[in-house]
């Protein structure tokens, strides 16, 4: 089945220790997104790639970076996680930016 896959599903890291979350898709969609979602809040867009074109949201902290080495994979790098970065991180894809987004299962990040 075509899908969006995120690994790991749960990630524990230490304060200040870099962490990388991964997302892959078999939908062959052009757009890949990273969202941060905290408890009882809406998903907050961090950035997205349209093909290789990176689009950062104005309020995304510099601590968050992303890489998209090919169509199928996209990574979220958190350079120095703080306690406030503990959240669910959601990857989504869409064929075009104005089209429906399909989400992966998410990675829950815990910062100790």
Partner 1 sequence: GQSLEQPSEVTAVEGAIVQINCTYQTSGFYGLSWYQQHDGGAPTFLSYNALDGLEETGRFSSFLSRSDSYGYLLLQELQMKDSASYFCAVTGGFKTIFGAGTRLFVKA
Q: Give the residues lining the site for partner 1 (CB under 8 A).
A: 40-43, 45, 90, 97-106, 108
3-state secondary structure of 13: strand
Nearer to partner 1, 81 or 106 (CB): 106
For the CA atoms of the chain, what is the radius of gyration?
13
Q: Cα(4)–Cα(76) distance, rounded to whole angstroms?
A: 15
d(CA 43, CA 57): 13
Q: Locate tokens 């075509």: which residue?
A: 2
Instruction: In angstroms, give the least distance from the CB of 100 to partner 1.
Output: 5
Minimum separation from the CB atom of position 23 to partner 1 (A):
11
As measured in angstroms, the least distance from the Cβ of 111 to partner 1 is 18
CB atoms within 10 A of CB 52: 10
Comparing CB distances to partner 1, the nearer of 7 and 80 is: 7
Token pair of 75 as six digits: 């990574």
Residue 75 Cβ vs partner 1, minimum distance, rounded to whole Å: 18
**Closer to partner 1 by Cβ: residue 44 or 79:** 44
For partner 1, the closer of residues 78 and 92 by Cβ is 92
């Amino acid at each position: 089945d075509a899908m969006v896959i995120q690994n790991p599903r749960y990630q524990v890291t230490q304060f200040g220790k870099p962490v990388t979350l991964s997302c892959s898709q078999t939908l062959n969609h052009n757009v890949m997104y990273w969202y941060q979602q905290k408890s009882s809040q809406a998903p907050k867009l961090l950035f997205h790639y349209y093909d290789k074109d990176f689009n950062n949201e104005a309020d995304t902290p510099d601590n968050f970076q992303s890489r998209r080495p090919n169509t199928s994979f996209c990574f979220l790098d958190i350079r120095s996680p703080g306690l406030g970065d503990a959240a669910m991180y959601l990857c989504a894809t869409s064929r075009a930016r104005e089209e429906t987004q399909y989400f992966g299962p998410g990675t829950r990040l815990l910062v100790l």
